[in-house]
Amino acid sequence: MNGAARILMLKGAGVFAALLFSLICGGVFISAIGKDPLQIYLQMFSESLGNPYGIGQILFKATTFIFTGLSVAVCFRSGFFNIGAEGQLMVGGLCIAVTGFSFAGLPSLLHIPLCILAGMAGGAAWGFIPGFLKARFGAHEVINTIMLNFIAAALISYLVNSVFAVPATVHTPPVGHSAELARLESLFSIFKGSPVNFSLALALLAALFVHYVLSHTRFGYELRAIGLGSRAAECAHMNVGLLTMTVTTLSGALAALGSANFVMGYKHYYEIGFSDGAGFMGIAVALLANNRPLAIPFAALFFGMLDYGGLTINTLVPKELVNILQAIVIIMIVLSMKLMDRWMPQFEKTSLPAASNG
């Protein structure tokens, strides 16, 4: 076996061990409330994976996670800690909803791209802010992106409740039929009843696109270069500030696309709280995929399964178990990569930036 294949296998084993260990840690929480972890996990897996409806639900959840995972991953690759995907998702979703109900009646061929562009523009604008503040002032992106999440939540709460209010609800009016994305069940009757829709195809295209940009373009090369060390990149005459702003803008647009899944493909309106932590889930997805765009759909599937599986066992174990697992997976993945780095000095550098000075 050659070296590269061996490293790949060891890496895979490391990720697998991290996941296994995370589930064991989650099992401690399950045991703590007097339930049998093995039985709970089995039930989770069988009720989510065991039937086409469950699989449709998993694919639906995974769709949003693919987008937020990609959003976080492009930033991580450039050394920027974007924890603002949640806010970008919300802003994008509202832009889609507003475009969706304002231009109802347009031909779908025009209306759908228009909504998607509007959502991307909203998310991009929200993503641009922390990138600009970092590039222009060197302001800490972690604090800024978190603050922007809170600001987005408050702003949207105002807009939905006071400007676009549908009385006695927390959602906007529905988008026009022309802006609705068809469900997969319209093509594959096996998914009957589950909300998985054609934004999944968009998500997979986005993963391919991000892979292409990162691995085959000059911009992607420069982006990775600043992630490995911005001083060296500066010496190579790269415009670090401009690159940072471009990356965070792109990242915002990607996160925002995740909202199309809900707003155009499922409920057909913007509802307060729809994001439900999907932006933060993007962090776990990106790390599990080691920030590799082509691995992100698989990582998103894993968390989609946990997320939907959590709902199926909610009567036995609070569904917040999934949030705990999400955090533990992040910790375990980071630790496993660290330990493997240490055990194998010849290991190629992982994609995480070596050090970030805050």
Partner 1 sequence: MVDAIFNIAFLAQVLRISVPYTLPALGATFSERGGVINIGLEGMLLSGAFATTAATYYANDPLIGIACGLLAGLLMGALHGVATVVLKADQIIIGIALNLFALGSTKFLCQLLFHSSSNSSRIVGIDAWSASLKNIPFVGDILENPFILFAMALAILSHYVLFKTRYGLRLRAVGEHPEAADTLGINVTQLRFSGILISGALSGLGGAWLALDQHSFTDGMTAGRGFIALAAMIVGKWKPLNATIACILFAFAESLVIQLQGGNVPVQFIQMIPYVLTMVVLVSFIGRAVPPAADGIPFEKEAS
> Which residue(s) pair with 197 in the sheet?
183
Asked if 119 and 260 count as a contact pair (C-beta separation under 8 A), the reply is yes
Give me Rg for the CA atoms of the chain: 20
Map the footprint of partner 1 across residues 171-230, applying CB under 8 A.
none
What distance in Å separates the CA atoms of residue 282 and residue 139, rounded to the nearest whole number? 23
Interaction between residue 139 and partner 1 (CB under 8 A): yes
> Which residue lies nearer to partner 1 by CB, 138 or 167?
138
Q: Binding residue for partner 1 (CB under 8 A) from 96, 322, 340, 351?
A: 322
Output 22 or 199, the one with its CB closest to partner 1.
Answer: 22
Spell out the residues 6+ positions from residue 72 whose beta carbon is closer than 8 angstroms to its own: 82, 83, 85, 251, 255, 282, 283, 285, 286
Whole-number Cα distances in Å, 154 to 121, 138, 161, 170, 272: 19, 26, 10, 13, 10
Neighbouring residues of 309: CB distance < 8 A, sequence distance ≥ 6 = 44, 45, 47, 48, 322
Residue of 64, 144, 259, 275 interacting with partner 1 (CB under 8 A): 144
Closest CA to 300 of 122, 134, 59, 115: 59
Among 200, 253, 283, 301, binds partner 1 (CB under 8 A): 283
166 scored as a contact of partner 1 (CB under 8 A): no
Distance, CA of 303 to CA of 278 (rounded, Å): 10
> How many whole angstroms separate alpha carbon 97 and alpha carbon 157?
14
Touching partner 1, residues 34-63 (CB under 8 A): none
Which one of 16-24, 103-111, 178-186, 278-286 is the stretch in contact with partner 1 (CB under 8 A)? 278-286
- Residue 53: CB minimum distance to partner 1, A: 26
Three-state DSSP class for 181? coil
- What's the closest the beta carbon of residue 328 comes to partner 1, in angstroms? 7
Q: Does 299 bind partner 1 (CB under 8 A)?
A: no
Interface stretch with partner 1, choices 120-128, 133-141, 248-256, 295-303 (CB under 8 A): 133-141
Polymer length in residues for the chain: 358
Residue 315, interface with partner 1 (CB under 8 A)? Answer: no
- Sequence-ordered alpha helix ranges (H) in the chain: 3-32, 37-49, 52-77, 85-102, 108-137, 141-158, 199-216, 218-228, 230-235, 240-263, 278-288, 296-312, 321-343
Can residue 155 be called a binding residue for partner 1 (CB under 8 A)? yes
Residue 352 as a binder of partner 1 (CB under 8 A): the answer is: yes
For partner 1, which residue of 151, 204, 213, 311 counts as binding (CB under 8 A)? Answer: 151
The reply to whether 287 sits near partner 1 by the rule CB under 8 A is yes
DSSP-derived letter for residue 239 is -
CB of 258 to partner 1, least distance (A): 18
In angstroms, what is the minimal distance from the CB of 140 to partner 1? 7
Q: Considering the rule CB under 8 A, would residue 358 count as an interface residue with partner 1?
A: yes
Q: C-beta of 132: minimal distance to partner 1 in Å?
A: 10
Residues in contact with partner 1 by CB under 8 A are: 29, 33, 81, 83, 133, 137-140, 142-144, 146-148, 150-151, 154-155, 157-158, 161-162, 280, 283-284, 287, 318, 320-328, 330-331, 334-335, 338-339, 352, 355-358
